[in-house]
Structure 1
């Protein structure tokens, strides 16, 4: 199994997140902390999420990306941009309803050279479970097919 990483940079008010490899639950605490960092910034003009080097993204990560878009619309009135050049990832994004909450483009954008890996975040099992639950509730709120797809998982997490 290949490992993944998320890199981050800010340049002139544009926040860039670059996903590389397999993006899984283990990276979600760092991603969530970075989302909080983005929205606490005073120098904010846009968000770009570069998925051109990502080969897979789990549903918890997708839920956190949806959270990022919802916060962006609420706080600054703009839709973030998702860059994807892989047909499978593009299809996944559209099936999750991301075309409603992101600007999805298929042409790579120039990314800052000073991208830095997000640091690992050690979280308790309880905190991780809460993040997974929140992410899937957000995904369920995007459309009926997501609500159906994740209903059983969310109910199981709520019971445990």
Structure 2
């Protein structure tokens, strides 16, 4: 069972996703649905990912965050912002190459009371497998190190 949650807010075209606790695969269906909703919004102008209260973030979640960067650059030509104050999370992001595809900052966001929890999503095992595969393919595309690190996992998921 996940011990984390993802919260969401929007104001004047700026979308905020706040990750709290341990962010794992169980939250990824809701995250992916929210990402699709954000980038289909007509007034999208920016996105901020707040990781200041995240204790851990799994690789599927990292792949979905990489998707956020790709879509943001396609939609508005801007890098999204990641806020992190946890040295372990910051190291993880840097090791995955996120410092090249996000603006990584260390200042917490104002207005935490403006955020709402993402609703849970019930998905079949096959849909979850496809989302995990997509997320890891995106991560592999960020750099050679990620390509090597996730090659076996992606191969195994493709065989399922």
Tell me the TM-score normalized by structure 2: 0.97
Q: What is the distance in 1 between the residues matched to 2:111 and 2:129? A: 32
Match of 2:126 in 1: 126
Q: CA deviation at 1:111?
A: 3.6
Kindly indicate whether the alpha-carbon contact (under 8 Å) linking 1:9 and 1:115 is maintained by their aligned counterparts in 2: yes
Q: What is the distance in 1 between the residues matched to 2:35 and 2:111? A: 18
Structure 2 regions of 5+ residues with no counterpart?
A: none
Residue 141 (structure 1) aligned with residue 141 (structure 2): yes
Match of 1:154 in 2: 154
Q: What is the distance in 1 between the residues matched to 2:76 and 2:111? A: 22
* Residues 1-54 of structure 1: per-residue CA shift (max 9 Å, x gap): 870000000011110000000000000000000000101111122100000000
Kindly indicate whether the alpha-carbon contact (under 8 Å) linking 1:84 and 1:104 is maintained by their aligned counterparts in 2: yes
Q: What is the distance in 2 between the residues matched to 1:80 and 1:113? A: 22
Match of 1:28 in 2: 28
Equivalenced residue count is 160
Runs of 4+ deviating beyond 6 Å:
none
Kindly indicate whether the alpha-carbon contact (under 8 Å) linking 1:16 and 1:111 is maintained by their aligned counterparts in 2: no
Residue 9 (structure 1) aligned with residue 31 (structure 2): no
* Residues 93-136 of structure 1: per-residue CA shift (max 9 Å, x gap): 00000011100001112145221100110000000000000000
Kindly indicate whether the alpha-carbon contact (under 8 Å) linking 1:9 and 1:112 is maintained by their aligned counterparts in 2: no
- Aligned partner of residue 120 in structure 1, secondary structure: coil
- Aligned partner of residue 54 in structure 1, secondary structure: strand
Kindly indicate whether the alpha-carbon contact (under 8 Å) linking 2:2 and 2:26 is maintained by their aligned counterparts in 1: no
Match of 2:42 in 1: 42
Kindly indicate whether the alpha-carbon contact (under 8 Å) linking 1:8 and 1:118 is maintained by their aligned counterparts in 2: yes
Quote the RMSD (CA, aligned, Å).
1.1
